[in-house]
Amino acid sequence: VAQATTERDLRQHLYEGITAFGQTGVRPVTVNTATRCMQAFLNWLLEIEHIERPIKLPKLKVEERVLRVLSMEQIANLNHYVPKNMCQRRIHAITVLLLDTGIRTSEMLNLSPQEVDFKTRTLRVMGKGRKERMVPFSQLAGEVLFKYLAERKTDCDYVFATEDGRKLDKRNVLRNIKQIGRRCGIPASEICLHRCRHSFATQYIVGGGQVVQLQKILGHSEIETTMQYVHPQMADTQRDHVR
């Protein structure tokens, strides 16, 4: 590959590289991910004045798909599920909290009892990039969570932990949440951990919430990321249907 000696050469090489990468058969979203990395590098070159003018790399068009989320009826069934034992009570509390707050699975697994404030009904969550934020939760989620914590026998560093106080394994949580889903009449293929986050985001907008506030709750640094979680047309349609 010839070395770029001018900004024009650099621009041309980058465009040719993106085109060649796209012709290898990878998905457009994969090409765009690589493009974002190169764009960040170009922005840095401009910042240190290694190049004089900004170089904006083009992105490929990506097929727009409507995100699959849980229905309001399915969410209600999960929220009002009656656990039969402590293991079910724990996974039920996890499910309700994920659907009620939209926090990430990693944030839920790392949550400590000290970060739950039942008086103000807020969670202090440490998100990506070590960015801390406050996330509100509802009275229903508070009642489910309080009852779970009151009945568990182990005092440990995590809100949701194994019987011996260790952090839960994500795969086991996924397996258990699918089990409780089946008991609520939800096929295993229709429920997963991240879909709870998508479902919360969609229902938040359907309920009249603002995207800017949703961005803060989800812990996104860019509003574009938040918009990927909510299909505006679907949210508008559901809101009108509820009315």
CA angle 230, 240, 225 (to 5 degrees): 10
Classify strands 132-136 and 122-126 as parallel, antiparallel or unpaired: antiparallel
The two three-digit tokens of residue 24, written as one number: 């290898």
Considering only CA atoms, which of 123, 209, 43, 185 is closest in space to residue 230? 209
Q: How many residues does the chain have?
A: 243
The two three-digit tokens of residue 241, written as one number: 């249907």
Considering only CA atoms, which of 138, 59, 145 is closest in space to residue 102? 138
User: Are 140 and 231 within 8 A, CB to CB?
Assistant: no
Determine phi and psi for 117, rounding to 5 degrees: -110, 105
Encoded amino acid at 96, one letter? V
**Angstrom distance (rounded) from CA 76 to CA 236:** 21
Catalytic site positions: 104, 128, 194, 197, 220, 229
H-helix segments, the chain: 7-22, 28-47, 72-79, 86-101, 105-109, 139-151, 170-183, 193-206, 211-218, 223-229, 232-242
User: Are 196 and 229 within 8 A, CB to CB?
Assistant: no
